[in-house]
Amino acid sequence: MSKESSLFNKVQLTRSYEEVARQIQQAITDQRLKPGEKLPSQRELMDMFQVSKFTIMGALRLLEQWGLVYTKYGATGGTFVSESNTVAFSESLKLLVSMRRVTLEELAELRLTIEGRAAYWAAKRRRPEDIKKMELILDKMGRLLALNRPMEEMIPLDMSFHLVIGEASHNGLFLAIMEAINACFLEKAFSFIPQGKQEEDYGDLRNVLEAIRAGDARLARKIVRQHIARFNKLIVRTFSEKHPGNDTLLEVPARGL
């Protein structure tokens, strides 16, 4: 029996595209279809599942939405199994928060929990390449500080440093959530930070690096939590001053995703 004929079963459900997607998802989860592997063609899938072309197209769209597969066009094109699904998780989280009104306090609670724990595990699991990434970011920040550059130029580096903490935790869920927070809120929130806070921010991140380098998980978590708490207090105050009567509410427009 060929690999293609043994991968899937004939579909019985009315909403057959969901069953097709479920079976392909299971094959990916079970590693019968591996990252980077090309799926059978639409015609082959039609024959294997005994369904119409529209059912296969619907299933592939659903799998793409889940981040499990991607499509390449051209002579060597087709549908391939994605290397990682953390991007899909991040996009789903962004969609969730974009459909609601989220306060800065709610954001702070999430960040305190996630980033504090990420820093804790980063100190325990950090690798030399993780430390090197943090050092390079802080070196760039230090040069900007020496040149007295504006806060706007520091923001991308600050955001990158936080994501490297997520990477250093070697927990894909921490990183996915932190990426979603960055994409949804932090760039907007940073716009409420007044000039003159760059040096304090840099000092915090330098202390985080040293705690992670030393493997001091409790200290790394403590510094990150203090850093985020001070950050939140500052933006809440500045936001309230700029938008009186609007409390501490942030809205994330869907078009920004």
Walk along the chain (257 residues) in steps of 10 and give the mean pLDDT of each run. 62 73 90 91 93 92 86 88 69 63 71 94 97 96 90 85 96 86 66 71 95 98 92 74 59 37
pLDDT reported for residue 187: 56
Q: What is the CATH number of domain 87-256?
A: 1.20.120.530
pLDDT reported for residue 3: 56
pTM equals 0.66
Q: Where are the domains of the chain?
A: 3-81, 87-256
- Are 3-81 and 87-256 equal in CATH topology? no
Tell which residue, 151, 87, 153, 165, has the closest CA to residue 121: 165
For 3-81, which CATH class?
A: mainly alpha
Q: Are residues 213 and 128 in contact, defined by beta-carbon separation less than 8 angstroms?
A: no
pLDDT reported for residue 248: 46
Q: What is the DSSP letter of 81?
A: E
Q: Which amino acid is at 244?
A: P
**Pairing of β 78-81 and β 101-103:** unpaired
Angle at 169 between CA 168 and CA 171, to 5 degrees: 120
- Residue 75 CB neighbours (<10 A): 5
